[in-house]
A and B are shown apart, each in its own frame.
Chain A
Amino acid sequence: MKKLFLILPILMLLLACAGPKQNFQFLEKTAVDQNTGLTWARNANMPGRQLIWRGDDNVYEYMKRLNESNYAGYADWRVPTKEEFTTIIEYAKSMGYDKAKMDSWPYQKLRMLGFIDVRDYEYWTNSRQSPTEMWTADLTTGKVAPRPENKPYYLWPVRGTSSR
């Protein structure tokens, strides 16, 4: 009984430190979401800059080149949907989100998980709102909302089909 009183606080401490269950299986270039089955590029800023939607050297052309290069052994990379971005943001927020604490914002949490170069800015989704607006995902606030299409945003490729 005395032993149990000693072990119990240690167990509780270990559980508290463990945090939420690790959702992603990280490989060299990819991260597989165990819940949805989606494969995300491990590097969340592969182009190294923001891209435009319509124009030379745009998102479409980057994705075409990425698939032609068979990146990480796959040729079916694409721009995530707004629902897919919402899922990864919700997961990041589930690890503890406080609007007032910068280190709890989604891009920081995703970096801590093991993703590389997650930007504190907006990302393209492939979901269209209107002829001039696309949905974007803001990894600072976690907000997924329609934004003007004529602005440049970051690109984070994904592949596979969500099982959720």
Chain B
Amino acid sequence: MKLAKTVVLNGIAVAVLMVSFGLTGCSTTAGVEASGKTGWDDQGARILEKKVVFNNSGLKGDIEIVDVKSAMAGDIMRAQATLRSRDKDTLPFQYRFDWYDANGFEINSGGGAWKPLILNGREAKTIQGVAPDPRAKEFLLKIREPD
């Protein structure tokens, strides 16, 4: 009887732990993120350091970030990303560009609105963002499922 009680208690403890780990996992920002940071190569030429992060997202298997690039229009940074749906069905999602200065501080924090976009089955689309001012040296493209 005592053994059975211990087994049940242990089972509950394990279940609680699993749920809490699960919740922790879900608490990160769900979505896809692609970042681009201005850098300079050994010759001093401007380059874009790119990174794509999938944050425990349902979009992970559905969306592919094909290309991320950046260019300067005068002293204003512009960013562009090409997204492709891996899904046969229509895929609605939202995206937003956040901009950061050379020290990693966000410019116009929280100022960018989420924009809706729909990818039809297997379709690829290009989205663009323009930095709010010349301080921007880094961007983060965030993609999430619609509310």
Interface of A with B (CB < 8 Å)?
A: 53-56, 58-61, 126, 128, 131
* Cα(A103)–Cα(B42), bound, Å: 36
Interface of B with A (CB < 8 Å)?
A: 39-40, 42-46, 75
* Cα(A53)–Cα(B41), bound, Å: 10
* Cα(A128)–Cα(B41), bound, Å: 12
Q: How far is the CB of B73 from chain A (nearest CB, A)?
A: 14
List residues of chain A with CB within 8 A of the CB of B42. 128, 131
- Is the beta-carbon distance between A56 and B75 smaller than 8 angstroms? yes
Say whether chain A's binding surface is mostly helix, strand, loop, or mixed.
Answer: loop
Residue of B nearest to A56 (CB): B75
Q: Which of B40, B43, B75 contacts A55 (CB 8 A)?
A: B40
Q: How far is the CB of A78 from chain B (nearest CB, A)?
A: 10
Having A58-B40, A60-B44, one finds 12 other A-B pairs with CB under 8 Å, namely: A53-B40, A54-B40, A54-B44, A55-B40, A58-B44, A59-B44, A60-B40, A60-B45, A60-B46, A61-B44, A61-B46, A131-B42
Residue of B nearest to A64 (CB): B45
Which 5 interchain pairs have the tightest Cβ spacing? A60-B44, A54-B40, A58-B44, A53-B44, A60-B45
List residues of chain B with CB within 8 A of the CB of A53. 40, 44
- Is the beta-carbon distance between B43 and A60 smaller than 8 angstroms? yes
Most central of B39, B42, B44, B45 by chain A CB within 10 Å = B44
List residues of chain B with CB within 8 A of the CB of A56. 75
Q: How far is the CB of B42 from chain A (nearest CB, A)?
A: 6
Q: How far is the CB of A62 from chain B (nearest CB, A)?
A: 9
List residues of chain A with CB within 8 A of the CB of B46. 60-61
* Cα(A56)–Cα(B46), bound, Å: 9
Q: How far is the CB of B97 from chain A (nearest CB, A)?
A: 20
Residue of A nearest to B43 (CB): A60
